[in-house]
Each structure stands twice: as C-alpha cells, then as structure tokens.
Amino acid sequence: MDLSIIIISYNTKKVLQDCLSSIKASKDKLKKQVIIVDNNSTDGSPAMIRKKFPDYKIIVNKTNLGFAKANNIGAKQAKGDYLWLLNSDTVLKSDTIKKLLNLAQQHQSQIASCQLLNQDDTIQPQGGFLPKLFTNLTDWMFFIDDIPLIKYFLKPYQQTSLNFFKKDQHPGWLAGTALLIKRSLYQQLKGLDENIFMYGEDVDFCLRANKQNIKLDYFHQPQLIHLGQASPGSQAIIGEYQGLKYIFKKHKPKWQYPLLRLLLKIGALLRIIIFAMILRDKQKKQIYEKAFKLA
C-alpha cells in the first residue's frame, strides 16, 4: 500500500466531513487507506463517518488522548509505505495527494510536507528551523526576526516570510498539519512523543530525525487549504511555551534550561508591554500574562 492517511478528530464534525470528502474526490490512483482516530468527540463525528464514509477506518478513544498518542494509535493500524498525518480542518485540492506522493517518492523523502493555504488562497506559514537558544529563539523573543532586511539572513524558529514558501526548501521542522513520514522512520523513531499532548510534537519528531541526519523536504507545488487560524491563539501560544520547555529538558544540555525559561519570560514580558500599553489588546495581554507565569 502506498499511503495511510491518519486524521485525529475531536469535535470537528463539519470540517472533518469536508476534509474526508476532499480525500474521496482526490484524482490519484494510489493504493491508500484513511484512518480516523476520534478522541471521544461528542458532536456525532463517529456516526457521521460510519454513515458517509463506511470504507474509512475509524478508531474511537474513550477519552481525549491528545494529538501525539492518537496518531501513534492510528499508525499501528497503518499499512502504507508513507503515513500522512493530516489535520481534520484541511481541504485537499484534487491533485494534492498525487503531487505530494510523486515528489516524495522521486526525492526519496523521509519527511515532507506541502504548501498550506488560507481560505483566500494566500500562503499560510508553517515550520521553521530547529530551536537554538542563542540564535533563533533569542531573535524570536526580541523581535529581531521581524526587522526588515535583517530577517532574510536569519534562520528563524518560526518561518513567517511568505517568499520562503514559494520554492522547495529543507527546513529544520515542519508542522504536524500535513506531515508526510516514511512509515519505517516513524516506527524507528517510535512515533510522536506522547508526553506532549499537543503543540511541539512535530518539532520534537523533526529534531529526533535530524539527529539521524535525515533532511526534511518542503514542496511548494502540492497545495491544500488549512482552515486553522493563521495567527496563533491562546492555546497555541501556551502550547509553544510548554513544548519548548519540554524539548529543552529532553534534548539540550541542562544548563540551557534555566536560560530558556528566562528568555521566554523576557519575551512574554515584552509582549505584555506591547499589547497592553501600545496596542491596547487586552486579550493578547492576558495570553502573555499566562505565558509569563508558565515560563
């Protein structure tokens, strides 16, 4: 089998149906399976899947196990040479799967992804370069990677330059939104880290792959629409802070961890000042007050 598509569902019935319909409409001739892992949804998602997509496999968890663990459960049922971890709030174009798999096979990709688009067909940034304390994380916390001209010479932790995504690239990490992984590599690395509930599991996985000298392939030709917000909300920002703390504890020298926490606190404090005193954005101020305490 060529491909196993794994989708995690949690109370996203409407967008999930649109996602599954776009997979069904795909103009590829690949041998593939679709596995939906439901994290105890209460919106009728499992019943909808069984009724409208009876040929797709559904696994229903008794509780919300999080993104990483649910994907690992789905991966155990997968038979494809490639696993495609796909968010439920995505809509594929008719040629997305065909183009992505063809490119991955041509380049013998171990990890790959495609171009993400917003609903208005503008490019949605994803991924970036692996976190480093004294370079891209410092640049991020002090807004250095937002400075015109200078930012084009940096390797940011979170890549936001739209031009970057207009050609094929080899970033340090790619988002779990639509992450294509060779099944043998997924098994070798023992899947996603289940200690991360959500946010940061993609960075951790790519970091572990990097230690095996495995490069990542971003392909700009295949495209899909990601309905998720282009700007991160409270859950994403808090999740990023938690993820970075866990990643540094797991992968970096011990002396870096307290410095990371200090850096995150400074970054959060700067954002509190900006959003409270300059932009008068109470919601963002409250988010970064939480982030400051978490750091």
Last residue of a domain, one of 230, 255, 274: 230
Q: How many domains does the chain have?
A: 2
Same domain, 186 and 290: no
pLDDT the model gives residue 229: 54
Same domain, 61 and 196: yes
Residue 138 in domain: no
pLDDT tens digit at each of 295 positions of the chain: 999 999 999 999 999 999 999 999 999 999 999 999 999 999 999 999 999 999 999 999 999 999 999 999 999 999 999 999 999 999 999 999 999 999 999 999 999 999 999 999 999 999 999 999 999 999 999 999 988 888 888 999 999 999 999 999 999 999 999 999 999 999 999 999 999 988 899 999 999 999 999 999 999 999 999 997 544 456 788 889 999 999 999 999 999 999 999 999 999 999 999 987 788 888 888 899 999 999 8
Residue 72 in domain: yes
What does the pLDDT look like over 94-124, one tens digit per residue? 999 999 999 999 999 999 999 999 999 999 9
How far apart are the C-alpha atoms of 219 and 113, rounded to whole Å?
A: 6
Same domain, 17 and 77: yes
Same domain, 220 and 120: yes
Is 222:103 a contact under the CB 8 Å cutoff?
Answer: yes
Last residue of a domain, one of 230, 246, 261: 230
pLDDT the model gives residue 232: 47
Closest residue by Cα to residue 189 from 84, 272, 75, 31: 75
Is 45:23 a contact under the CB 8 Å cutoff?
Answer: no
Domain assignment of residue 118, given as a range: 3-125+161-230
Same domain, 198 and 284: no
How many other β-carbons are positioned within 10 Å of the β-carbon of residue 88?
Answer: 23
Cα torsion angle, 61, 67, 73, 74, sign: positive
Same domain, 115 and 218: yes
pLDDT the model gives residue 216: 98
DSSP line for 89-118: TEEE-TTHHHHHHHHHHHTT-SEEEEEEE-
